[in-house]
Amino acid sequence: MQKLLKTIFSPFFDENFFENEEFEKKLLEVKNLLPKHILTVITKIFAESTKGKLNFEETACRFQKQLKKCNLPKNISKVIPLEMHSLEYTNKLIRQKIQELSKILPYFRSIRGDGNCFYRAVGLAFLEQIFYKFWVSYREGKLKTSELIDFLTVLEQRKFPLIKCTLSETSNSKSYRILEEFLRDQEILLYVFLRQCCKLIMILVQSEDFREVIAALEKAFLENHLFDMSLVIVMRSILHFTLMNNLKREEYVPFMVSPDEFLRSLQIFGEEAENILIPISADALKRVIVIHMVHKDQGTGVPIILTEKYEPLIMNEGKEKDNLPVINLYFRPGHYDLGYEKEKNDLLKYFQN
């Protein structure tokens, strides 16, 4: 498998990542493997990204070269047992509680903490889930409808606009300062995200095991910081659009006190997510979001396990909340990592040895 991974993925995530010729080559390779309606979507995304004055290849390559000069931390880690994380603590009681939590949440993935960790964690979980659903449907020959393709089509058709983000005043990262121009360029931002997702689809249809798709997604996050940034801003934009469109609804009354404040925080790259924005995420992605944490009891000071569950505020008629996918987050003060629950989790087997 290692040889296969190297053969398929390396040429697609190297210096030629943004080049149009490389995209076209890959598209020709998988042309006969894709259903016509999906091939049409991918072809349209590629055509739209190369026409007019966008200069996608030139601009994206320039940003990527600038980023290579910066010593950026990793955006995500590999998935590891949560029990191993307990070893980072000297407090015996905290270690015991993390080990206890690992019975419910056996694996977790560390997420880069730069004020965007919530959006990065939720966005990655969302991608893992919709790519897995696509994988299962593709293998079963049932790809008439797909949440993944619907999502890409909504983005491509601009059914909700990407927001223009500014940098957090607390961000002193040289790399982010370099990318201020990129943050203002929604078109480049949009096609970095869309083309990356298309490339992952093309890898998926050539893969024999979903672990190969997970490896490709991880590699994209680790080697393509523009993709990571585009995902963060796509997630922020989805929440911004959801909040704007629902402020007059009864379910959104809690946000009526200071909607401008919430909307403004979503437009600041590096601004941490407030708890009150989490239900909007559940609503926007139509997922249940569960936060797990080991917390010291205010009265006794003894570590305890706390779990908070956020369901969508608005559900379409005929949809049941009990059947919604679940995103699990592992929370520590001021930071979110991505967790993988033990029960009802089809992805778990791909993280186990």
DSSP per-residue codes, 154-165: HHHTTSSPPPPP
pLDDT tens digits for 180-220?
777 888 899 999 999 999 999 999 999 999 999 999 999 99
Nearest by Cα to 241 from 230, 231, 250, 233: 233
* pLDDT of res. 210: 96
Mean pLDDT across 72-95: 91
pLDDT tens digits for 247-260?
889 888 877 778 88
Nearest by Cα to 121 from 294, 338, 276: 338
DSSP category for residue 74: P
- What length is written for the chain? 353
Cβ-contact 292, 329 below 8 angstroms: yes
pTM across the whole model:
0.92
Question: How is residue 7 written in tokens?
Answer: 């053969």
Strands 326-332 and 288-296: parallel
Question: How is residue 167 written in tokens?
Answer: 């940098």
CA 291 → CA 101, 110, 112, 313, distances in Å? 12, 15, 17, 17
Cβ-contact 171, 269 below 8 angstroms: yes
* pLDDT of res. 223: 85
Tell me the C-alpha distance between 281 and 187, whole Å: 23
